[in-house]
Structure 1
Amino acid sequence: MATPSPLLRVIFRYFFPCRRGVSLHALHGLAVILLPIAVIAVLRRGVVQASAVTLAYALAAYLLTNGHADLPGILANGLITGLQISSIIFTAIYFYNVQRGHGVEEELKRRIGSQGAPFLYIAVFFSGFVESFSGYGVPPAVVAPLLLSAGLDPFRATVSVVVGHTWAVPLASIGVPTAVLAALTEVDVGQLAAATVVSGSLSLAAIIALVSAKYLRQGAREILPAFALALLFALLGPVTKVYSAAVLGLVGLTLGLVLSGGLGRALETLVVLRYYLLLVLLLLASNLLGFGGLQYTFLVILAAALLSQFLERKFSRDALRRSISMTTRSIIAVVLFAVVAELVKRGGYMRSLALILAEVAGPLYALAVPIVGAVGAYATGSATTSNLIFSTLQKSYADAVGFDAVALLALQNVGGGLGGMVSPAKIAVAASTTGGKELEPR
């Protein structure tokens, strides 16, 4: 078996001084973490190139340290996991584009994008609702123009949504980032979603305080009910699980509309969102009946999209073409990173690195887990990619120090969502829809 070069040993020991010998496995684990971040953040390449480079390295490392005996099964398992996750990504975006084709966005702009609109509830809860069905920077592009048409200046309209939607990112696209973490670490997705929601309720409260005080200057009448919704979010987690952001986002928007314009205005808006309501109910029902797996979620979303087209008598290829265009690169990256994660897990690289982390930092590293998730999301532009990169490391560390793995992974998940708050890509998308030249100096 090959051993690390003396130079690599010296560098590793400098940053990770420990009694445990520095193994080749630990160095491979560190390389798999740093490679995609370097390709995206330093070399300014896309996520597909980063995933391909990382896969090539992980494959070479596995062949070097473990041979090729189990390789076909490992590649097949990674491919299956990646395709299952990708099916949710695609159908969630397809459902969103179908509703867009039905004119939902324009109708919402007419009904709630006017003077007297509940700014806080649109910026935080409605943007989170949109995120729960889409991802890909869609909420800033959809919701910021609503706030602009309702009277906010471009800067506040943009930033309040870029910040406001991040509480829902771990549950984006019907829970894809959470499903990724659960699948790659072999924990129960429902338990992980519930733990994520409980931890995320604290970040939601902080987001409400920040958006209302700094960007929207809301009064107590608007803020206090919003804080109550943050508490409700924590209570919803064990019941609605990966659908919690969709449920709370809808409840929050409805409450905001009732407070600003009465029950009639809220009901009119819910009629516009009727197919979103239908999908939420179908997903909750399928989960309660025991059909909550990735394959069933994919079928439920697809069925809801097709049913809405049948009922509206609007069958257009535009939604399909747009969905393919929006998701192709992400799906390729997810599949490749899923294979990388399987190679890394079976090769034992992250376990070796986690043992060194546990010896050097002990339980203190747990405090840095959400920061690691946030940095990963900022560097790669995606909470899902951050989870793909760090999932095995965080699980291995939790096992090494005896922490609850689900709770620790929830911190990674929440951190990944918050990292999108300062993502240049999301800011650029939102600014492009609100005439964002004045954003640059701020």
Structure 2
Amino acid sequence: MHWVQNYNPFGNMLLSFLVACVPIAFFFWALAIKKMKGHLAGLCTVLIAVFEAIIVYRMPVVPAVSATIYGAFQGLWPIGWIIVTAVFLYKLTVASGHFGLIRDSIASVTEDRRLQALLIAFSFGAFLEGTAGYGTPVAIAGGLLAGLGFNPFYAAGLCLIANTAPVAFGGVGIPILTSAQVTGIDVHSLSQMVGRQVPFLSIFVPFWLVFIIAGWKKTIEVLPAILVCGVSFAVTQYFTSNYLGPELPDIASAIVSMVALTAFLKVWKPKTIFRFKDEKPVLSSSFGGLPEQAAALDKTEHHPLGRVLQAWAPFAVLVVVICLWGGSDAVKNALGKLTMLIPVPGLNGMVDKAMPIVNQVTPYAAIYKFDPLAATGSSIMVACIISKFILQLSWKQWVQTFGATLKSLTFPLIMIASVLGFAYIDNYSGMSATLGLGLASTGTVFPFVAPIIGWLGVFLTGSDTSSNALFSNLQKITGHQIGVDPTLLVAANSSGGVAAKMISPQSIAVATAATGQVGKEGSLFLFTIKHSLFFLAIIGVITLLQAYVFQWMIP
């Protein structure tokens, strides 16, 4: 028995659109107003969505439940597997004591607070976003800046703002991989499109970061260093995303940026060493500048080169392994031999699409792909195994660290599974199609609206991955409706989402906890919101221009 989707269950498109918004509206209320924990908000939202799919959209119970479970499994594998292994690799460096060497190797490059912010908040934060994500960049980089003498509140704020450009490719490309899974659009095309949007932001963010700290005059003083940092990052981000895929742009760009800026600072120094009050010169800013405050003396240790290289080696191994995993068709084919394609019981072939854009009723496939070796997370696990020997950890320490990683990620994984479950029931019931048809009424303005939808998703979920799971299919459908390439709009969902990372309640909670500022979440939100809206407007304009003026930029 086949069930045909109905995108206007009330016979009134406006009413159907508003009802389809109910689960999303609840999610917003639960997180932003009720302050409900993310995993609880996700579970409640998916229950509401299933109830609405069955009662309002008349979707049979079995396909509705199957679609939700299908989405949850997609959240756990391959997405959850990537998150677990990426965070595990980071935690191995902490457990072995080598993370301190990584920290010191960065902090010892310069005493100038502006340049320290570039190295740690921007470049190193991007590296952590690429390897671990999930609040790690803000937590670690914020702690580092506070330890170097930055006011803890503003250390948190600066790291939130800096953690913008890398978010779209965070966690070894999880947001892009999720968009591809949800929409069926080629993952490489999405990677290319995002790689033709966010590099513009990547050039600008370092300048804006220093401008916030020091004001216009003191920013111009270090403009050469800002350009080295931003341009090296943006160029690497463009080439890796366009020619290698979504897994490596953050890692490669961060490494190139750190190396380039470090090398540049060996031959170039600013006219003055910038410090806060009680350090010369005194801070001044014309736009939300930081308050004057005393900074602690640097206590950075210098370590032998061999020890520093050993500390960084796990991440170098990660880059090599991921390149080997996805860079050769022969390797892909060999790893793919164990891949299993499992038709989802009660769902595969049981739902028919009836969108006007396809002009016919077509079956909606539901095939779960389980690839134990070919999955990106498995390549990261190989790097974790190799790193066990590099970092000289015992197997007991290795296993204990893995267990601690799983425990710490329990609630994030529940949230991801629930959000993916919501995304899949949204798609298979036709609710996302209802939303897409409703938003298509914005017509030619929609390319500017598309990043705003991604921004809203990240604000609600704290994750570009979750936002893409929620709204990528909506963007695709709307693109078909208004005649704009869906690849551009799906990419814009991810690109727009990066601007909301700094105002996400989850990110702010991590930032305040890491810097000892718990209780100042509201103040931190007010500090970051203006920057978030400014970055969002930039992405909106870029998307609008690419849709109608620079269409050659679309893959």
> When the two structures are superposed, what TM-score results if normalisation uses the length of structure 2?
0.70
Q: By how many angstroms is 1:161 displaced?
A: 1.8
Q: By how many angstroms is 1:221 displaced?
A: 2.2
Q: By how many angstroms is 1:126 displaced?
A: 1.2
Residue correspondence of structure 1 range 290-329 to structure 2 within 5 A: 290=329, 291=332, 295-314=374-393, 315=395, 316=397, 317-329=399-411
| Counterparts of 1:434 and 1:333, CA distance in 2 | 25
Q: By how many angstroms is 1:392 displaced?
A: 2.2
Match of 1:276 among 308, 312, 315: 315
> Does structure 1 conserve the Cα–Cα contact (< 8 Å) formed by 2:26 and 2:45?
yes
| Counterparts of 1:76 and 1:332, CA distance in 2 | 12
- Counterpart check, 1:228 vs 2:231: yes
Deviations, residues 192-241 of structure 1 (Å, cap 9, x unaligned): 12211221112212212210222254412211212322234223321232
- Counterpart check, 1:39 vs 2:118: no
Which structure has the greater CA radius of gyration?
2
Q: By how many angstroms is 1:251 displaced?
A: 0.7
> Does structure 2 conserve the Cα–Cα contact (< 8 Å) formed by 1:278 and 1:304?
yes
Specify which structure has the higher proportion of helix: 1
Q: Which residue of 2 aligns with 1:16?
A: none
Deviations, residues 243-285 of structure 1 (Å, cap 9, x unaligned): 11111011111112212247x9997655421110110111022
Residue correspondence of structure 1 range 344-355 to structure 2 within 5 A: 344-355=426-437
User: Sequence identity of aligned pairs in percent?
Assistant: 23
> Does structure 2 conserve the Cα–Cα contact (< 8 Å) formed by 1:41 and 1:380?
no
- Structure 1 residues 146 and 418: alpha-carbon distance in aligned structure 2, compared to 1, 3 A threshold: same
- Structure 1 residues 107 and 416: alpha-carbon distance in aligned structure 2, compared to 1, 3 A threshold: same
| Counterparts of 2:144 and 2:107, CA distance in 1 | 5
Q: Which residue of 1 aligns with 2:175?
A: 177
Q: Which residue of 1 aligns with 2:95?
A: 101
Q: Which residue of 1 aligns with 2:497?
A: 416
> Does structure 2 conserve the Cα–Cα contact (< 8 Å) formed by 1:113 and 1:147?
no
| Counterparts of 1:149 and 1:390, CA distance in 2 | 39
Q: By how many angstroms is 1:66 displaced?
A: 2.2
Equivalent residues, number: 426
Q: By how many angstroms is 1:188 displaced?
A: 1.7
Q: Which residue of 1 aligns with 2:414?
A: 332
> Does structure 2 conserve the Cα–Cα contact (< 8 Å) formed by 1:82 and 1:335?
yes
Residue correspondence of structure 1 range 160-199 to structure 2 within 5 A: 160-199=158-197
| Counterparts of 2:457 and 2:63, CA distance in 1 | 30
> Does structure 1 conserve the Cα–Cα contact (< 8 Å) formed by 2:93 and 2:391?
no
Between 1:424-433 and 1:215-224, the stretch displaced more is 424-433
Give RMSD over aligned pairs: 3.1
Q: By how many angstroms is 1:55 displaced?
A: 1.7
Where 1:167 maps in the other structure, the secondary structure is coil
- Counterpart check, 1:245 vs 2:243: no
Between 1:297-306 and 1:139-148, the stretch displaced more is 139-148
Q: Which residue of 1 aligns with 2:510?
A: 429
Match of 2:49 among 55, 58, 82: 58
Return 5+ residue gaps in structure 2 as ranges.
4-8, 268-301, 337-370, 528-555
The letter of the residue matching 2:433 is R
Residue correspondence of structure 1 range 367-382 to structure 2 within 5 A: 367-382=448-463
Q: Which residue of 2 aligns with 1:116?
A: 110
Where 1:333 maps in the other structure, the secondary structure is helix
Q: By how many angstroms is 1:37 displaced?
A: 1.6
| Counterparts of 1:424 and 1:61, CA distance in 2 | 27
- Structure 1 residues 284 and 29: alpha-carbon distance in aligned structure 2, compared to 1, 3 A threshold: farther
- Counterpart check, 1:82 vs 2:75: yes
The letter of the residue matching 1:239 is Y
> Does structure 1 conserve the Cα–Cα contact (< 8 Å) formed by 2:130 and 2:172?
yes
Deviations, residues 34-71 of structure 1 (Å, cap 9, x unaligned): 22222211221122222222221222223231223644
The letter of the residue matching 1:176 is I
Q: By how many angstroms is 1:116 displaced?
A: 1.5
The letter of the residue matching 2:29 is A
| Counterparts of 1:233 and 1:170, CA distance in 2 | 11
| Counterparts of 1:390 and 1:68, CA distance in 2 | 24
| Counterparts of 2:421 and 2:173, CA distance in 1 | 20
> Does structure 2 conserve the Cα–Cα contact (< 8 Å) formed by 1:32 and 1:54?
yes
| Counterparts of 1:353 and 1:141, CA distance in 2 | 36
- Structure 1 residues 80 and 431: alpha-carbon distance in aligned structure 2, compared to 1, 3 A threshold: closer
Q: By how many angstroms is 1:297 displaced?
A: 0.7
> Does structure 1 conserve the Cα–Cα contact (< 8 Å) formed by 2:236 and 2:252?
no
> Does structure 1 conserve the Cα–Cα contact (< 8 Å) formed by 2:450 and 2:489?
yes
Q: By how many angstroms is 1:363 displaced?
A: 2.2
The letter of the residue matching 2:328 is L
> Does structure 2 conserve the Cα–Cα contact (< 8 Å) formed by 1:33 and 1:390?
no
> When the two structures are superposed, what TM-score results if normalisation uses the length of structure 1?
0.87
Q: Which residue of 1 aligns with 2:344?
A: none
- Counterpart check, 1:341 vs 2:423: yes
Residue correspondence of structure 1 range 212-227 to structure 2 within 5 A: 212-215=210-213, 217-218=218-219, 219-227=222-230
- Structure 1 residues 146 and 100: alpha-carbon distance in aligned structure 2, compared to 1, 3 A threshold: same
Deviations, residues 163-204 of structure 1 (Å, cap 9, x unaligned): 112211122211122222211111122221221122111221
Where 1:58 maps in the other structure, the secondary structure is helix
Where 2:200 maps in the other structure, the secondary structure is helix
